Amino acid sequence: MTSHSTPTLSQQIIGLFTQALHQVAPEMHGPITLERPRQADHGEFACPLALQLGKSLRRSPRDIAQALIQALPNSSLIQRLEVAGPGFINVFLTASAKQAVVQEVLRAGSRWGEVNLGRNRRVQVEFVSSNPTGPLHVGHGRGAAFGDSLANLLQKAGYLVQREYYVNDAGRQMDILTVSTWLRYLSSYGSRIAFPANGYQGDYVTQMAQQLLTTFGTTLVHPDTAILSGIAHAPSFSDDSDTDPDAASVEAYMDGLIERAKTLLGESYRSIHEHVLSQQLADCRDDLEAFGVTFDQWFSEQSLYDRGKVKQVVQQLDQAGHLYLQDGARWFRSTTFGDEKDRVVQRENGLYTYFASDIAYHVDKLARGFDLLIDVWGADHHGYIPRVRAALQAFGLKAERLEVPLVQFVSLYRHGAKVQMSTRKGQFVTLRALRAEVGRDAARFFYVLRKSDQHLDFDLDLATSQSHDNPVFYVQYAYARIRSVMNKWGGDPASLLACDVSPLQNHTEFSLMQLLRAYPETIESAAQERAPHALAFYLKDLAAALHSYYNAVPFLVDDIPLRMARLALLHAVACVLQDGLRLLGVSAPETM
Q: Which residues 6+ apart lie within 8 Å of 590 measured at CB?
A: 480, 483
| Residue 94 predicted with pLDDT over 80 | yes
The whole-angstrom separation of Cα 453 and Cα 470 is 22
What are the helix (H) ranges across 378-459?
A: 385-394, 431-438, 440-447
pLDDT of residue 244: 58
Mean of all residue pLDDT scores within the chain:
94
pLDDT of residue 424: 47
The whole-angstrom separation of Cα 170 and Cα 1 is 40
pLDDT of residue 41: 86
pLDDT of residue 3: 43
pLDDT of residue 264: 97
**Do the Cβ atoms of 418 and 410 come closer than 8 Å?**
no
CATH fold, domain 101-107+112-116+467-583, is Isoleucyl-tRNA Synthetase; Domain 1 (1.10.730)
CATH fold, domain 9-93, is Gyrase A; domain 2 (3.30.1360)
Helices (H) and strands (E) counted in the chain, each on its own, are 21, 16
| Residue 576 predicted with pLDDT over 90 | yes
Q: Which residues 6+ apart lie within 8 Å of 264 measured at CB?
A: 222, 226, 227
Percent of the chain with pLDDT over 90: 91
Span 197-239, pLDDT tens digits: 999 988 999 999 999 999 999 999 999 999 999 887 777 554 4
Span 480-520, pLDDT tens digits: 999 999 999 999 999 999 999 999 999 999 999 999 999 99
What DSSP character marks residue 408? -
The whole-angstrom separation of Cα 332 and Cα 355 is 10
pLDDT of residue 2: 42
pLDDT of residue 6: 63
| Residue 1 predicted with pLDDT over 90 | no
Span 246-296, pLDDT tens digits: 788 899 999 999 999 999 999 999 999 999 999 999 999 999 999 999 999
| Residue 58 predicted with pLDDT over 80 | yes
| Residue 76 predicted with pLDDT over 50 | yes
| Residue 523 predicted with pLDDT over 80 | yes
Residue 427: pLDDT band (50, 70, 90) is low
| Residue 448 predicted with pLDDT over 90 | yes
Domains of the chain by residue range: 9-93, 101-107+112-116+467-583, 172-282, 307-369+381-400
pLDDT of residue 171: 86
| Residue 4 predicted with pLDDT over 50 | no
Two domains, one topology: 9-93 and 101-107+112-116+467-583? no
